[in-house]
Amino acid sequence: MKKIYFFLTVFLCTLSAFSQVTITGKVLDGSLGGPLPGANILISGTTIGVAADFDGNFSIEAPSTSGTLVVSYIGFISKRVKFSKAGNIGTISLMEDASQLEGVVVVGSGIIDLAEDRQTPIAVSTIKANEIREKTGNWDLPEVLKSTPSVQNIKGGGFGDGQMFLRGFDQTNTAFLLNGQPINGMEDGKMYWSNWSGVLDIANAVQVQRGLGSSKLAISSVGGTVNIVTKTVDKREGGFFQTMVGNDNYVKTTGYYSTGLMDNGLAVSAMLGHWQGDGYVDNTGGQGQTYFLSFGYVPNENNIFNFILTGAPQWHAAAGSDNLRTFLDNGRKYNSWNFQGVDSPNTLNGGAYPGGRNIYHKPVANLSWDLKFNETASLSTVLYGSLGRGSFASVSTDRGTGEPLYARGSNNNHNWYGLVSNFNKQLSENLNFNFGADVRLYKGIHFRDVREFLGASAVSASSNYNGGAYELTKTYGGINPWNVTFNPNTDHAQRFGYDYEEAINYGGVFGQLEYSNNSFSAFFQGSASTQSHVRTEYLNAANQGQSEESDKVNNPGFNVKGGAAYNLSDQNIVFVNAGYYSRQPYHSDLYIDDRNSNQLNPLAKENQKITGLEGGYKFLGDVISANLNVYYTIWDNRIVYSSDDTNDDNIVDEFTQTSPLKQVHSGVELEVFARPADGLNFQGFVSVGNWEYDGNVTTTTSDENGNILSTGDASYIDGVKIGQAAQLTAGISGDYEIFPRFKVDANWNLYDNLYGTTNFGDSEFSTANNRGAIKLPSYNTVDSGVSYRMIVGKNEDKSIQFRVNVNNLFDETYLESSRDNKHVNPGDDVWNGVNTDNRVRFGYGRTWNVSLRYNF
């Protein structure tokens, strides 16, 4: 009997072996054409699976001659491929999933706080490398992010002058991180996109975390956090060469090459680019370079090192503001901010002197180290530094003749060094712990000097530090940002107007504990920090040749955040998060006149208080996925300061504090992704916000000793809408691959409930008879693009990609912002319901760019 069972078993196994078939193929990145090593190939309905090799090739034994392969790769959309016979089924192309980011970060993963690194969800949108590469064109990052919920982009007048608003908060209240490194200005939290014009050329992805976000640092992410993740250690050799032309004589050329990870563990990559153009607005031309250099080293599986050096030296002319009537009479490209002068190719003019020109170079370097102790413990550290050198150059003219005399440079230099380190420990199967430190050392150097002599040969000045009257006879750097970097003005005797330095030192610790199982997760984050400030005065110092230091100011602060999520099923997740921030005043808040005096503002003592509450629902389907978020954010104890020298003795003796300003931002955001068919993708969103002041304010005037001179209540602020960003935004975007590697795409964006700038210090806004912020007309824009990728030769890694972008396809005329709040009264000149006395900025009309890219 045993022999019979044995022969039956052998017979059945033989039949099974003869019925198995071998299926082979290759898995490729559908956008770039490169292989996807490690891609998973599973036979549907079975546990049989294999992984693709380094070149994307795979071979799998199927139990029958027909079935379905499920092909997946982290960060890409899975694909089901049917087979009906043995043999090679060819290439399988996977497209990047816009809702995921896993798998693209190789270095610094412990520092870069990505949403996917935490089980408890947040309100997040991710823009992947392919979309950035295709849609960026000649724009800055805010333009790329405008098709995500609650984001408003204002382009500004010149190259790199754009601004981004997130949930109604400006850039000073949104944290921007480059590979985990904070890059908001240390003095005032501002962002200058002209300093980062090349970052999108090297970006693997950009993740927008709205609201509380997942960052563990003690950063002021009131509106949210934007993580920019750049290239580091590429796994394979390759690169690209791209050239682009666009409207208003824009030209950009970029080259990139990476050795890939070599057998010796080294990986080297480099990028170099140049751009120039006339600018959409009149007299706003500019040019610059971008560079990137990365050295990676992977000595073993437990250590990864990477060094990055990147920068974007540039100059560009700026545009001035004017009232609406002036633009209507002269066109939306009109720039009143320029001076006519003698033509000379070596000066600031080139036919006309721009009213202002930004010249800057901010090289940034960081060294990161990922150390894996064992399967449960790791340490990530990044040491970084930047040297900012440059100025805003404007023309000084003879008051009588109007003749240009010299170009005055308002210099804002800095030396910035920092360290961020994070230790991660998996305490148990369900419990994870993080602990780290964040240290920043900053020195700001501010002064005026002569960039270039035009009609004059010297400039007279006077200062205590220089012993009275003296003359400026030297120039520094002109408009060349490379000269500004390597020929800085270090001579106090060649400075005028103002001359001071700032030392800001920051230290913080942070930690996170997260619990997660199959259906539930919860986290708690906490951070504490201290920030010290010292200001050093030169120009107005009391004694010749001796600088004066201010008293040292120390401000502590802290953040706490917590949240939980529950998986109703594999496809349905709900979550809630809450947080509280005690945020220190910026350096610019601490002094009554930070350009000319060490005198501290006695009222600038209290921290701002931010409370955030949010909840969400995620649906993860094969064809449709969606995110629904609700939020409620309170920005309290915001204080507006002013001061007065009542005795005209150069000593401020009256201080006015308007407080407590309280802003409440609440809203709902819905984001939907749909993939109804192969090659067809849709994304849509709608954001409805209600952002306004809550309660009234009290104005208190005190003397230099803190004695109250007068108080007053203002009852006109409650319920006033907060401006600059549209409180209702919506958008639909889609792309369709008509035939292999030929794709068309378009996106439509709507902006409504947009109000004038709520500048509390503006007299037009701060009057008892004020009717609130003015409402600007709603508008919508359509952008479109076409791309085609042609395979070169037999190697699919090599291709030529052609791309066309047209922004504001239908040439919509719209106002993107207003600096004033002048309401319409009987007899006023009006355009689309707006008083034409308001200083406004029009959005750009139709723009375009065409690019040709060779990938290898």
pLDDT of 689-737, one tens digit each?
Answer: 999 988 877 777 777 666 777 777 666 678 889 988 999 999 999 999 9
Mean pLDDT, residues 436-455 taken together: 92
What does the alpha-carbon distance between residue 616 and residue 575 come to, in Å, rounded to a whole number?
Answer: 5
- CA 772 from chain center: how many Å? 31
* pLDDT at 413 > cutoff 70: yes
User: Encoding tokens for residue 482?
Assistant: 């490379």
pLDDT at 8: 47
Q: What digits encode the pLDDT tens for the residues 373-401? A: 998 899 999 999 999 999 998 888 777 77
Higher pLDDT, 36 or 574: 574
* pLDDT at 14 > cutoff 50: no
* pLDDT at 350 > cutoff 70: no
Please identify which residue in the block is written with the tokens 């180290």: 369
* Peptide bond preceding 660 in cis form (omega within 30 of 0): yes
What does the alpha-carbon distance between residue 667 and residue 392 come to, in Å, rounded to a whole number?
Answer: 38
What does the alpha-carbon distance between residue 604 and residue 98 come to, in Å, rounded to a whole number?
Answer: 44
pLDDT at 801: 92
pLDDT at 762: 53
Beta bridge partners of 421: 381, 437
Please state, as a whole number, how many other Cβ atoms lie within 10 Å of the Cβ of residue 803.
Answer: 21
Give DSSP secondary structure letters for 123-138.
EEEEEEHHHHHHH-TT
Q: Which of 245, 246, 230 is nearest to 196 (CA)?
A: 230
Mean pLDDT, residues 2-13 taken together: 47
Q: Which of 743, 852, 855, 737 is nearest to 795 (CA)?
A: 855
Question: Per mean pLDDT, which range of 172-181, 393-402, 495-504 is the poorest?
Answer: 393-402
In this structure, the strands spanning 174-178 and 224-230 are: parallel
- CA 33 from chain center: how many Å? 28
pLDDT at 768: 47
- Position 138 confidence tier, pLDDT thresholds 50, 70, 90: confident
CB 310 within 8 Å of CB 293: yes
* pLDDT at 291 > cutoff 60: yes
- Position 116 confidence tier, pLDDT thresholds 50, 70, 90: low
Fold of 238-855: Maltoporin; Chain A (2.40.170)
Domain-by-domain residue ranges, the chain? 2-94, 238-855
Mean pLDDT, residues 808-828 taken together: 92
pLDDT at 593: 67
Please state, as a whole number, how many other Cβ atoms lie within 10 Å of the Cβ of residue 59.
Answer: 13
Give DSSP secondary structure letters for 272-287.
EEEEEE--SSTT--EE
The reported pTM is 0.83
Give DSSP secondary structure letters for 793-828.
SS-TT-EEEEEEEEESTT----EEEES------TT-
Mean pLDDT, residues 740-748 taken together: 93
Q: What digits encode the pLDDT tens for the residues 643-699? A: 665 665 555 566 676 767 889 999 999 999 998 887 888 999 999 999 998 887 777
pLDDT at 18: 47
- CA 170 from chain center: how many Å? 12
Please state, as a whole number, how many other Cβ atoms lie within 10 Å of the Cβ of residue 173.
Answer: 23
- Position 612 confidence tier, pLDDT thresholds 50, 70, 90: very high
User: Encoding tokens for residue 212?
Assistant: 């509380």
Compute CA distances 611 → 211, 510, 545, 565, 690, whole Å.
10, 18, 48, 20, 16
pLDDT at 349: 44
* pLDDT at 268 > cutoff 70: yes
- Position 837 confidence tier, pLDDT thresholds 50, 70, 90: very high
User: Which among 94-98, 241-245, 623-627 has the top mean pLDDT?
Assistant: 241-245
pLDDT at 15: 42
Q: What percent of the chain has pLDDT over 70?
A: 87
Q: What digits encode the pLDDT tens for the residues 252-262? A: 999 999 998 89
Q: What digits encode the pLDDT tens for the residues 545-580? A: 899 999 899 999 999 999 999 989 878 999 999 999
| H/E run at residue 640 | strand 624-644
pLDDT at 10: 46
DSSP summary character for residue 12: H
- Position 17 confidence tier, pLDDT thresholds 50, 70, 90: very low
What does the alpha-carbon distance between residue 224 and residue 152 come to, in Å, rounded to a whole number?
Answer: 13
Angle at 729 between CA 623 and CA 726, to 5 degrees: 160
pLDDT at 405: 85
Please state, as a whole number, how many other Cβ atoms lie within 10 Å of the Cβ of residue 361.
Answer: 24
Beta bridge partners of 616: 575, 629
* pLDDT at 361 > cutoff 50: yes
pLDDT at 669: 96
- CA 440 from chain center: how many Å? 20
Angle at 470 between CA 468 and CA 476, to 5 degrees: 135
What does the alpha-carbon distance between residue 730 and residue 810 come to, in Å, rounded to a whole number?
Answer: 18
- The burial of 723, by beta-carbon neighbours within 10 Å (0-12 exposed, 13-18 middle, 19 or more buried), is given as buried
Fold of 2-94: Immunoglobulin-like (2.60.40)
pLDDT at 105: 42
Higher pLDDT, 758 or 262: 262
pLDDT at 42: 85
